[in-house]
Amino acid sequence: MKILMFGWEFPPHITGGLGTACWGMTKGLLRQGVEVIFIVPKAYGDEYQENVRLINASDITINFRDAIYQEYWNMITFMEIGSNLIPYVSPEEFTNIVNQTEHGTIQSDDSIFSSRFEFSGKYGKDLMQEVSRYAMVAATLAASQQFDVIHAHDWLTYPAGIAAKKISGKPLVVHMHATEFDRSGENINPNVFDIEKKGMEAADKVITVSNLTRQIVIDRYGIETNKVVTVYNAVEPIEYDDILKNEQKFVKEKIVTFLGRVTFQKGPDYFVEAAYKVLQKDSNVRFVMAGQGDMLYRMIKRVAQLKIATKFHFTGFLKGDDVDKMFAMSDVYVMPSVSEPFGISPLEAIRSNVPVIISKQSGVAEVLRHALKVDFWDIDAIADAIYGLLHYNALSRMFVRFGKEEVDNMKWENAAYKIKEVYLSLLK
């Protein structure tokens, strides 16, 4: 079985959990005998390609005069956007939407209908323009590649998945790692919501990373219940044992870590407020916020206002072995997410023998039994949980021991088996 898979990032060039999940998934699918052709907007040449055939969309030439594309080009909506979008940067007004709705001759526009596009592969001001161009490349690839099923990850690649399905007639699976409601609460970007909804409506199956996300997809997007399947994420076995053994803290205090995007969705403000409460009772603790995002400056300012800056550290974005190094130095990991479709980082922390505190409003709370679970808004409960894990060694050791056993059984190979079953159901 061969899968044409569309993603926006691939390790080591990642900005969060999506790229990590795609890497683990492709490795697991290979072990299940599934071949994956993975398309990214921009490849750098140093991606982990041991288990996947990676294609750089920036290398694909498009022949717009080929008859097989004419009807598709005339019906698709192209968006040229000179704006920034939630969740990665602040939203601005869409500046131009070009609808090609009539059959006939395509009017050439050099800004869109170039024969080759150089993608940045980033989340910048031209993001929507790249999403629409990526869809055109997808159609070209779908016409030239041999495959059985199309698999598109998150809204950025849904237009590409739809394009590939229209050209090839092959079944489409879309993977919902996070909804616009997770990223933005009720203040959603209607354009992103529309792409998500159209992608799921066009798909033959929708995979969600938790039952929490599945319910949002059904209730908020109106997708048929029997079309939506939950497949939980997993975590790769640790590969940096020597680093973990030799890593030293260089500080005498206990270390409590937040690792994730510093955005509304991840609840960094609740972490800061809980840190202040803990430090009122125990000054022998340091807090670390590892990540970047639009709330970072506000968090730095709040830490200064609370006068806890000498006990609080901002590392910026961490990836790869730096994540493992951070966990090796940590005594507690906290994920106070407001809405977390799944959450791979708690699994990475437990894998590194770190007890975790997670919000009840997270998908991973559905599968982790040996973690302290709190409401994201309950600062007192978060502070109490941190204090308890730092001061009651038996409690901490219990969560580490049994949590590690749980996480060791959460393999990407098992998740890939369920994904393969989804593929097979569409080929019957």
**CATH code assigned to 241-408:** 3.40.50.2000
For the entire predicted model, the pTM comes to 0.83
Note the helical H segments in 169-266.
Answer: 180-184, 190-202, 211-221, 241-246
Instruction: Output the CA torsion 227→228→230→235 (10° steps).
Output: 100
Q: What architecture (CATH level 2) is domain 2-234+412-427?
A: 3-Layer(aba) Sandwich (3.40)
For the chain, which residues make up each domain, given as ranges?
2-234+412-427, 241-408
Residues forming a β-bridge with 174: 152, 206
Smallest CA-to-CA distance from 129 within 107, 165, 96, 105 is with 96
The helix-helix angle for 211-221 and 190-202 (nearest 10°) equals: 100
Q: What is the tens place of the pLDDT at every residue in 41-78?
A: 777 666 666 667 777 777 776 655 555 555 544 444 33
Q: Is 99 a residue whose pLDDT tops 50?
A: no
Q: What is the tens place of the pLDDT at every residue in 144-179?
A: 889 999 999 989 899 999 989 999 999 999 999 999
Q: Is 246 a residue whose pLDDT tops 80?
A: no
Q: What is the tens place of the pLDDT at every residue in 343-399?
A: 999 999 999 999 999 999 999 999 999 999 999 999 999 999 999 999 999 999 999
Phi and psi torsions of 96, nearest 5°: -160, 125
Cα-based distances in Å from 415 to 37, 73, 234, 236 = 18, 36, 7, 12
Write down the pLDDT at residue 46: 67
Do domains 2-234+412-427 and 241-408 share one topology? The answer is yes
Q: What is the tens place of the pLDDT at every residue in 278-317?
A: 999 999 999 999 999 999 999 999 999 999 999 999 999 9
With H, G, I as helix, E, B as strand and everything else as coil, classify residue 149.
Answer: strand
